[in-house]
């Protein structure tokens, strides 16, 4: 009897596997060093760390806007 086929593990998923567009950033050396340190502590590349940070910030802003809209709809503000 054969069971359900197992999903193949392909290793850690990174944010760079998504369809993407190139964004070039210019930053001073001190900031880049700090970003590298944060990325290393998270076990991520600098690129993945920056993208993850931007995604989280975008989510936070959209979530806050949704909460504000819900509060206005229910007359809570």
Residue 9 has pLDDT above 50, yes or no: no
**DSSP one-letter code for 66:** H
Show contacts of 19-28: CB within 8 Å, 24+ apart: 25/50
Between CA 41 and CA 33 the distance in angstroms is 12
What's the Rg (C-alpha) of the chain? Answer: 19
Measure the CA angle with vertex 70, ends 68 and 76; round to 5°. Answer: 80
**pLDDT for 18-77, tens place per residue?**
677 888 999 999 999 999 999 999 999 999 999 999 999 999 999 999 999 999 999 987
């Amino acid at each position: 009897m054969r069971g359900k086929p197992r999903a193949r593990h392909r290793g850690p998923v990174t944010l760079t596997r998504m369809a993407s567009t190139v964004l070039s950033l210019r930053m001073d050396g001190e900031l880049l060093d700090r970003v590298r340190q944060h990325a290393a502590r998270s076990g991520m590349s600098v690129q993945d760390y920056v993208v993850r940070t931007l995604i989280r910030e975008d989510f936070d802003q959209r979530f806050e806007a949704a909460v504000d809209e819900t509060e206005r709809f229910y007359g809570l503000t």
